[in-house]
Homo-oligomer: A and B are copies of this chain.
Amino acid sequence: MKRIVFVEAPDAVGLVHRITGVFVELGLNIVTNDEYVAQKNRRFFMRSEVVGTADDQVIRVALRERLPLAETIWVLPERKKEIVVLATKESHCLGDLLLRQYAGELKANIRAVIANHDTLGSLVEKFGVPFVHVPHKGLTREAHERAMLAEIHRFEPELLVLAKYMRVLSSDFVSAFPHRMVNIHHSFLPAFVGAQPYRQAWERGVKIIGATSHFVTDDLDAGPIIAQQVLPVDHTHSARDMALAGRDVEKNTLANALKLVFEDRVFVFQNRTIIFN
């Protein structure tokens, strides 16, 4: 059985040797192994894929014994993540995820799609996935978020995916899923933060547009970036053309980011991501 082992620790001589020593003792074969040291902070990160019969808890305890100073020790079984997708009205990112699940290539199980409009219900139900409509009309943001969270918690997701969910989230909502909420933003962050990024891009006359997938944090559009992708444009593109062309980049960027997240390859350190792939 394969497991992902992740260690974050203050850098020190011999860490790799100590960690791989545990693997040898417990009869775990290394499939892949990646390390990174953030030199400025003298912080060590290591992600290994190992195969063997030892129990997760046994591995964890053995690593902790050898690495008393480690910040983080994770031993994660290789399995599909359980997710809930939030959406609004646009179908391109959501549809892409549904298709990937249909094709068996999504390393996640979409437990439900929850949306503040009912537009996407018929699409979601085609794929046999529960769709929940939580209208925001007439509700304060707080009341709507409470209703959303109540529905989300029913499905007990490990991760939330915001597939063009177009509502600004409160601090409270965000803190319910720390580094467990992945968003797709329709610009090449940090350019064009906020509303109507394609309009802003058109006005600035840029020659390349892009999309950014990031973890959601309190600070709007400022969370740790997971993946970015770009597309050339020219003067013949109206803001609307850019938005249309941007759809493909958005869905591809989100798919790329999620692949990395679902495979436990993305770690956050000081608002930046470390990605082992």
Contact = CB atoms under 8 A, between A and B. Distances in A.
Interface of A: 13-14, 16-17, 20-21, 23-24, 27, 29-37, 39, 91-92, 95-96, 99, 102-103, 105, 123, 126-127, 188-192, 203-208, 210, 224-230, 234-236, 238, 244, 247-248, 252, 255, 271-275
19 contacts: A14-B20, A14-B24, A16-B16, A17-B20, A17-B21, A32-B35, A32-B36, A32-B37, A34-B34, A91-B103, A126-B127, A188-B188, A189-B206, A190-B191, A205-B272, A207-B227, A208-B228, A208-B229, A252-B252
Interface of A is mostly: mixed
8 nearest A-B pairs in the assembled complex, by CB-CB distance: A205-B272, A17-B20, A126-B126, A191-B191, A95-B99, A207-B228, A14-B24, A235-B274
Contacts of A272: 203, 205, 235
Nearest to A105: B244
Nearest to A38: B235
Contacts of A204: 189-190, 225
A188 to B, nearest CB: 7
> Oligomeric state, in number of copies?
4
A41 to B, nearest CB: 12
Contact of A248 (B37, B227, B252): B252
B210 A228 contact: no
A94 B272 CA distance: 34
A204 to B, nearest CB: 6
A188 B191 CA distance: 9
A24 to B, nearest CB: 4
A3 to B, nearest CB: 16
A156 B103 CA distance: 30
Given A13-B24, A275-B234, A190 B189 contact: no
A252 B247 CA distance: 11
A138 to B, nearest CB: 28
A235 B24 contact: no
Contacts of A207: 225-228
A136 B142 CA distance: 58
Contacts of A248: 252, 255
Contacts of A236: 36
B191 A235 contact: no
A115 to B, nearest CB: 15
B20 A31 contact: no
Nearest to A238: B39
Contacts of A95: 99, 102-103
Given A17-B20, A99-B99, A102-B91, A230 B205 contact: no
